[in-house]
Structure 1
Amino acid sequence: MANPGERVADVVCTDDKLTVDLEDGRTISVPMVWYPRLLHATAEQRRNWEPAGGGFGIHWPDIDEDLSVEGFLRGAHAPRAALLLG
């Protein structure tokens, strides 16, 4: 079960890193190469994110990408199909 503090507070994407700030004060940073859709998106597309799943996930509508805080905490990469399509 997700902890209420694990809701997304902010998201920042650079060319090489995806950084997610959580409401409980933690920050998670993962390599952008783990998420090919984000890696190949424009800076504007990366900035256009919205909370999903009650705040426990992130949705990028311009590129139809959805990621979860749970996945970040487990160190999960994009599914293999997404890597092949990337």
Structure 2
Amino acid sequence: MSSLTLHAEPLAQAVNLTDIELVVSLVDGRVLSTPLVWFPRLLSASPDQRRHYELLGNGEGIHWPDVDEDISVAGLLAGNPSVEYG
């Protein structure tokens, strides 16, 4: 017997930032939490700048126009920090 397994692309639906972490809720119910220090532009951004984000495409990524930061959901799942980190 064969079966077909479909894997939907992980998509963001909501974003929250605290003083120490970036939290992304996905449409499939998963919640990703990463250290904010991994993203220096967001770490140094004001609360208003952090709240001003846009979902890219259908939620494949997140863009913060005020600080020119782009983060992909695939990159978060892979555990990739910003190239500016470290």
**TM-score, normalised relative to structure 1:** 0.86
Deviation at 1:73, TM superposition (A): 0.2
Match of 1:55, SS state, is: coil
**1:67 maps to which residue?**
71
1:76 aligned onto 2:63: no
The DSSP-based 3-state class of the residue aligned with 1:62 is coil
Larger Rg computed on CA atoms: 2
Residue of structure 2 aligned with 1:3, choices 5, 8, 30: 8
Alignment partner, residue 24 of structure 1: 28
Gaps of 5+ in 1: none
- Partners of 2:76 and 2:63 lie apart in 1 by 14
User: What is the identity percentage for the equivalent residue pairs of Structure 1 and Structure 2?
Assistant: 47
Q: Distance in 2 between matches of 1:49 and 1:12?
A: 10
Q: Please give the residue correspondences for 1:33-72 in structure 2 after superposition, counting only pairs within 5 Å.
A: 33-72=37-76
Structure 2 counterpart of 1:3, which letter?
A
1:58 and 1:45 map into 2 onto residues whose CA distance is 13
The alignment's C-alpha RMSD in Å is 1.5
Q: Runs of 4 or more off by more than 2 Å in structure 1?
A: none
In structure 2, runs of 5+ residues without a counterpart are 1-6
Aligned-partner Cα distance in 2 for 1:29–1:83 = 17
Structure 2 Cα separation of the partners of residues 35 and 47 of structure 1: 15
